[in-house]
Amino acid sequence: MALWTVHGDGRRLGNDEVVHPDERLSWPLTVGMGLQHLAAMAAATVLVPTLTGLPVSATLLFSGLGTLLFLLITRNRVPGYLGSSYAFVAPLAAARGDGIAAQLGAVLFAGVLLAVIGVAVKALGIRLVDSVMPPVVTGGVIVLIGLNLAPLAGRDVASGPLLAAVTLAVIGVCAMLSRGLLFRLGVLAGVVVGWIVAAVTGSLAAASVTALDAAPWWGFPTLHEPQFRSSVMLAVLPAVLVLTAQSVGYTKAIGAVTGRDLDGHVGDGLIGNGLATALAGIGGGSALTPLGENVGVMALTRVYSTAAYLVAAVGAILLSFSPKVAAAIATVPAGVVGAMTLVLFGMVVMVGVRHWLDSDVDLGDPVNLMVAGAAVVAGAANLTIRVGSLQVPGIVWGSVLIVLGYPLLRTLRTTRRA
């Protein structure tokens, strides 16, 4: 039995058509969609190991392998690309002095813990998740993710406003004026045109061009063994909570936008995400999560085919063995990356809002209003709290506040009324 059925004739696609997870376009077009996902995930998957001191090549390798494992465990029904999680930047960056081995031990620990949570959800049923993370919470976490990442896009746009304007214009033209496949490949088209304009005008960073010239075509990823250190493992516990909320919210959001009930696969998603993160911790990669950038690509293109993610995963694995190609990706100017992520992070926010609307969340309810407000403020402001020598960013404490604060507020109100 084929993993995917061909959507229509596989070549033509109307603006209002949706390609479901178990469908695909022709393989050349599927490769194009996969390259678009590859471009979307590259910034986060490269930036996080750069900030934390983990090897980039290994992170790319385990990002691809982790995505394949995720698709396998979710039985090809939950489209998603697993890239580096921003929630782990603070604790892993703080642990750089302990060495890469200790950082990887914490990543492995986080992955195993997340997988255990997934097994519990699968055994006890979706009601466990709904009672702890109802739609107002999962939607809030999705909105928080998009808004929290928005300053990164704004910073990149500010560093290259002209290139950003060109890239945004191309994406906008493809989205508003074109029809069919060009509409679906608008993000990739914008990045390619933006890069060409930068190359023609001499706007590519000299250091990145020099690194591209010096990079070899072939090379094995740098791998390391994990080492368990209790202080570093305890530091990632809040990030595990964020990862849990992100994974649950992601699966529910994908179910909402595809029109399919994926509640029965929430446990599978957690297990897949956890095992993929554990695998990364064993060999040298950072903690993984379904990336918001790729959610944005799906929301924009309405192509949810897992075949495109298979292509992206294989592409990431190949990139990890080619320093030359990875260096070529690094030449994409910040202004171009900023324009792309500006669109995609905005789509993530709107997916969260849509999740609220589709779930009939009453935002007039004082408790719901406080939860939603906390998500918006914590995400947009990226408020950072210092705990000793550890800086806790808004995406971490904001998610913790939402996940723990909602049931507390709801219980207090119920008790008061009783």
Whether the per-residue pLDDT at 103 is higher than 80: the answer is yes
pLDDT (0 to 100) of residue 198: 85
> What local confidence, expressed as pLDDT, does residue 264 receive?
81
Contacts of residue 200, defined as CB under 8 A and 6 or more positions apart, other chains included, come to: none
Q: What is the mean pLDDT of residues 122-129?
A: 78
Mean pLDDT, residues 228-234: 82
| Whether residue 78 has pLDDT greater than 60 | yes
Residues 310-355 have pLDDT tens digits of 999 999 999 888 887 767 777 778 788 788 778 777 777 777 787 7
pLDDT for 165-182, tens place per residue? 888 888 877 777 655 555
Residue 4's pLDDT band (cuts 50, 70, 90): confident
Summarize the confidence of residues 288-297 as an average pLDDT: 78
Which tokens hold the place of 182? 């060009």
Listing DSSP states for 285-347 in one string gives PPPEEE-HHHHHHHHHH-B--HHHHHHHHHHHHHHHT-HHHHHHHHTS-HHHHHHHHHHHHHH
Which range scores top for mean pLDDT: 203-207, 220-224, 297-301? 220-224
pTM above 0.75, yes or no: no
Using 50, 70 and 90 to split pLDDT, how confident is the model at 240?
Answer: confident
Q: In the structure encoding, which two tokens stand for residue 382, read together?
A: 């990226």
**What does each C-alpha distance from 239 to 68, 90, 125, 233, 315 come to in angstroms?**
23, 9, 23, 11, 28
Among 107-116, 131-140, 157-166, the least confident range: 131-140
Nearest alpha carbon to residue 45 among 75, 86, 9, 5:
86
Judge whether residue 211 has pLDDT over 50. yes
Give 101 or 86, the one with higher predicted confidence: 101
Average model confidence (pLDDT) for the chain? 80
281 neighbors 104 (Cβ within 8 angstroms): yes
- Whether 223 shows a pLDDT value over 90: the answer reads no
pLDDT reported for residue 180: 54
User: What does the pLDDT read at residue 387?
Assistant: 65
The answer on pLDDT for 51 being more than 70 is no
Tell me: pLDDT of 273 over 90. yes
Instruction: Please report the pLDDT score of residue 393 as a whole number.
Output: 67
Residues 6+ apart with CB under 8 A from 122: 267, 268, 270, 271
Distance (Å, whole) CA 212 – CA 208 = 6
The per-residue pLDDT for 91 is 75
Amino acid at 105: G
The pLDDT value recorded for residue 1 is 45
Q: Give the pLDDT band of residue 196 (cuts 50, 70, 90).
A: confident
| Region 124-144 average pLDDT | 77
The 10s digit of each residue's pLDDT in 376-389 is 777 677 767 776 66
Report the pLDDT value the prediction gives residue 8, as an integer from 0 to 100. 76
- Mean pLDDT check: name the lowest of 113-117, 394-398, 401-405: 394-398
d(Cα 387, Cα 271) in Å, to the nearest integer?
Answer: 30
Listed ranges 76-80, 173-177, 385-389, 398-402; the one with the highest mean pLDDT: 76-80
Share of the chain above pLDDT 70, in %: 89
What average pLDDT score do residues 262-273 get?
Answer: 88
What is the per-residue pLDDT for 108? 95
